[in-house]
């Protein structure tokens, strides 16, 4: 089964927003064994949308569209699709009722600093009383199958153009995802048919090796496994390794996946830190809470990034005490008790300094684990001895202090992100 | 002049990466008065690439392609384009020489934690000694105009297919941007012709109002200005307002832009904080340095994000002293001297607490300005009195302490980002 994804909107073709819907849908389709062969973006123009849909149904078995379902005159998708199937736009009553209920309870709070209306409820959030234009966005082509939108006003819908299913959704990613989850995925599984291949898949998360090294290490791992493929995706600073096995029998696919699992773990010792959706940040915080350990941070070049990453996880207050951002050397002395003599003799970016930072933080914060980072993030400040990308890390625990040096000549942002992830990895290793 | 952008790669159509090249190119083209009418992505498949280019040249005056220029057998763009123009692939000697020089000095450092080769030099970085396959990526169609690649191995090139210029570039964004800057933009200005419209534009940066409120306030502002249009782009938490004026005479366009400028500033008092490429973070750090002021931060719910944002700017060490991340209440007392009685009476999320945090930080860090934040980031922890999204901020300076409360019921990440930006805005207002 081959799909085409069509995203509609002037803002896409002017480059004002990056189209994330296409890749999101393509990944979801691929998981259903549906190959996306084409992805097209076009302007809010009736002739162009008509041409794009006509072309798509001529070369694909399934067409997914996003965009052009809002309330304004620019939003043409319903009209174009109705015309293509020789129908006309009609109000979808359930979505009209939902919109009326929503408008009735909407309160605009003028004290809200950023417009909650615009940002929380979507760009189409209206002042009350302009129902007529609002009604445009609850229309669907007469006879269309409606795909309910649990997160917004405009319904998704499906029509058949020359026998090919064309499914239209709003362009707001949150709403598109909700429509997918609410029923569209099930609908596509049904369209794909039960006779199709089943897929077993596992995503492994790897940190500390680059994509080329990982792919070299994993070479040949699935060569003799029927229906298996391996894929790599760089999500800096980690790399995802995805093993996919296709078979008409799901149990057989799962069994072959389970057989590959120990080998892939054996080949990436230390670097493969988990599988599934949970990344290193989530894993570290979850295990700290499970093990009832507390953490504090002492940051120089990362400037608060480690604390920010840890506290991005809801519930992290159960484990994270706090941190010291010691950007100036005087603060390393004042907040963490680093000795001025150490700073003089070895500099701020040194094993000796991060050792004292971590140990000093442990004493002052009273945490089970403390991690310290000091480095040259660049672009300036490098020396022949300590070039940009030189970072020292230390972790202090009841077992003493362990240090590590990394050297990675990237951009300022990359150096800081990599240093923060190495700090997380050291916490992960220490928290046993 | 109408353009089509074509991005090539299986990884795009599997949704493994988001296509950022299309929007980047579309924005650049739009700035040159070239309208992107179609953006297409296709698989690494010779028949599909041939079909896509053939279609593109039938409906556009200019085609920009990215992807498929690497060294592997999957990389088919050169072969397809050569076939389309009845030519054959040949080695581009300047790029071959550059590759040889690069291979000669390449050293793989096994101690490097993440593969600098893979990440720094692009996914095609080879082990030395496989020159034959490497040569694939310095090929161009015979007779093509070469667009040098200052950041990578594979040259960009241009051929005319049925009289329409088709320009191919590697898919690595860094390389594509470098090719654009090195000469492609100048080439397209020339292709567009001097007789075309000139564009005057200014980007205004607005924080503290949502897109719908901003667009309401700006309504009608360019209605009577010939050739003018206004565009909004949400880059959470800020919104960019872009005024564009087209005229054959650049001076006339610039004059009309200058005439609109005071009016747009008048309509967004306080919220319009700058124009151009510098965002609020950059502005705050630059002005602190210019005014020789020092800053320290005291963060609870943002967990280090304000420090991280400030230190994301190179050179911030001239102004930023450091910070205290006081996630636990005990740390608010220990690090900042907040009174336990205040915490008991008013709670951690209160005007009284942030006031003491900011004042305590100023005393301890000895900084000219200190900013403090405490809030309920969610998703848990909200109460009827202090729902999720309630954040108190305080700024302390020689002029005393000023506080502010924001309430914005977003996701955890949104609440923290918004709180950090409000902190930056308070610094911006205080640093006068």
pTM score, two decimals? 0.84
The average pLDDT across B243-267 equals 94
State the smallest CA–CA distance between residue A252 and chain B in angstroms: 24
Average pLDDT, chain A: 90
Domains and CATH numbers, chain A: 2-192 (3.40.980.10), 198-275 (3.30.70.2860), 280-430 (3.90.950.20)
Size of interface A-B (CB pairs under 8 A): 321
Q: What is the pLDDT of residue B125?
A: 46
Q: Give the relative orientation of helices B280-290 and B412-430 as an angle to the nearest 10 degrees.
A: 30
Contact yes or no for A19 and B24 at CB 8 A: no
pLDDT tens readout for residues A97-110: 998 887 776 544 33
Between these two residues, B211 and A176, which has the higher pLDDT value? Answer: A176
Instruction: Using the predicted structure, report yes or no on whether residue B115 has a pLDDT greater than 90.
Output: no
Instruction: Using the predicted structure, report yes or no on whether residue B362 has a pLDDT greater than 90.
Output: yes
Q: Which of A173-177, A381-385, A408-412, B292-296 has the highest mean pLDDT?
A: B292-296
CA distance linking residue B49 with residue B57, whole number of Å: 12
Contact yes or no for B325 and A20 at CB 8 A: no
Chain A residues closer than 8 Å to B238 by CB: none
B388's torsion region: left (phi>0), alpha (psi -120 to 50) or beta?
Answer: beta
pLDDT band at B109 (very low <50, low <70, confident <90, very high): very low
Between these two residues, A197 and B116, which has the higher pLDDT value? Answer: A197
Instruction: Using the predicted structure, report yes or no on whether residue A285 has a pLDDT greater than 80.
Output: yes
Contact yes or no for B22 and A19 at CB 8 A: yes
Contact yes or no for B322 and A327 at CB 8 A: yes
- For residues B39 and B22, is the Cβ–Cβ distance under 8 A? yes
Element (H, E) at A102: helix A93-105
In the structure encoding, which two tokens stand for residue A84, read together?
């293509």
CA distance linking residue B412 with residue B389, whole number of Å: 8
**Percent share of chain B, pLDDT over 70:** 93
pLDDT tens readout for residues A295-304: 999 999 999 9
Q: What is the pLDDT of residue B193?
A: 76
State the smallest CA–CA distance between residue B54 and chain A in angstroms: 14
Chain A residues closer than 8 Å to B409 by CB: 116, 120
Measured CA distances, A146 to A163, A166, A203, B64 (Å): 17, 12, 33, 37
CB-CB: which of A114, A212, A314 is closest to B418? A114
Under 8 Å CB-to-CB from A310, ≥6 apart: which residues? A281, A284, A285, A295, A297, A316, A320, A424, B303
Average pLDDT, chain B: 90
Contact yes or no for B14 and A22 at CB 8 A: no
Under 8 Å CB-to-CB from A212, ≥6 apart: which residues? B115, B117, B118, B123, B125
Chain B residues closer than 8 Å to A16 by CB: 23, 27, 231, 233
Q: What is the pLDDT of residue A115?
A: 32
CB-CB: which of A14, A120, A335 is closest to B26? A14
CB-CB: which of B37, B304, B321 is closest to A307? B304
Nearest CA in chain A to B320: A327
Instruction: Using the predicted structure, report yes or no on whether residue A348 has a pLDDT greater than 50.
Output: yes
In B93-144, which ranges are E strands?
Answer: 139-141
CA distance linking residue A123 with residue A108, whole number of Å: 14
Q: What is the DSSP string of A360-412?
A: HHHHHH--SEEEEEEE--SSS---SSS-TTEEEEEEEETTEEEEEEEE----H
- For residues A48 and A42, is the Cβ–Cβ distance under 8 A? yes
pLDDT tens readout for residues B125-179: 444 445 677 788 999 999 999 999 998 889 999 999 999 999 999 998 989 999 9
Chain B residues closer than 8 Å to A331 by CB: 321-322, 365
């Amino acid at each position: 089964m081959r799909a085409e994804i069509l995203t509609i909107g002037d803002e896409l073709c002017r480059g004002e927003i990056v189209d994330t819907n296409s890749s999101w849908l393509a990944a979801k389709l691929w998981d259903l064994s549906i190959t996306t062969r084409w992805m097209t973006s076009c302007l809010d123009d009736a002739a162009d949308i008509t041409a794009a849909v006509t072309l798509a149904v001529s070369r694909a078995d399934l067409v997914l569209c996003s965009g052009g379902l809002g309330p304004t005159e620019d939003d043409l998708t319903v009209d174009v699709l109705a015309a293509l199937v020789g129908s006309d736009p009609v109000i979808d009553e359930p979505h009209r009722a939902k919109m009326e209920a929503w408008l009735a309870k909407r309160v605009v709070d003028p004290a809200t600093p950023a417009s909650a209306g615009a940002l929380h409820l979507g760009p189409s959030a209206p002042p009350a009383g302009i129902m007529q234009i609002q009604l445009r966005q609850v229309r669907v082509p007469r006879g269309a199958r409606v795909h309910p939108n649990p997160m917004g006003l405009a319904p998704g819908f499906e029509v058949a153009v020359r026998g090919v299913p064309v499914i239209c959704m709003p362009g707001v990613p949150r709403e598109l995802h909700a429509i997918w989850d609410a029923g569209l995925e099930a609908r596509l599984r049904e369209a794909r048919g039960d006779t199709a291949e089943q897929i077993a898949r596992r995503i492994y998360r790897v940190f500390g090796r680059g994509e080329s090294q990982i792919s070299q290490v994993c070479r040949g791992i699935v060569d003799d496994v029927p229906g298996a493929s391996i894929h790599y995706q760089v999500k800096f600073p980690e790399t995802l390794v995805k093993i996919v096995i296709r078979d008409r029998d799901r149990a057989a696919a799962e069994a072959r996946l389970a057989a590959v699992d120990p080998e892939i773990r054996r080949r990436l010792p230390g670097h493969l830190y988990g599988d599934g959706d949970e990344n290193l940040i989530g894993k570290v915080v979850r295990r700290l809470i499970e093990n009832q350990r507390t953490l504090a941070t002492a940051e120089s070049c990362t400037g608060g990034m480690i604390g920010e990453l840890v506290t991005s996880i809801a519930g992290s207050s159960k484990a994270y005490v706090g941190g010291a951002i010691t950007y100036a050397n005087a603060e390393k002395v004042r907040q963490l008790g680093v000795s001025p003599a150490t700073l003089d003799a070895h500099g701020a970016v040194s094993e000796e300094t991060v050792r004292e930072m971590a140990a000093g933080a442990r004493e002052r914060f009273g945490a089970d684990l403390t991690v310290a980072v000091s480095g040259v993030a660049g672009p300036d400040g490098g020396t022949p001895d300590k070039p940009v990308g030189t970072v020292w890390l230390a972790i202090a625990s009841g077992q003493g202090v362990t240090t590590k040096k990394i050297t990675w000549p990237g951009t300022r942002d990359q150096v800081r992100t990599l240093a923060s992830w190495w700090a997380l990895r050291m916490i992960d290793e220490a928290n046993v």
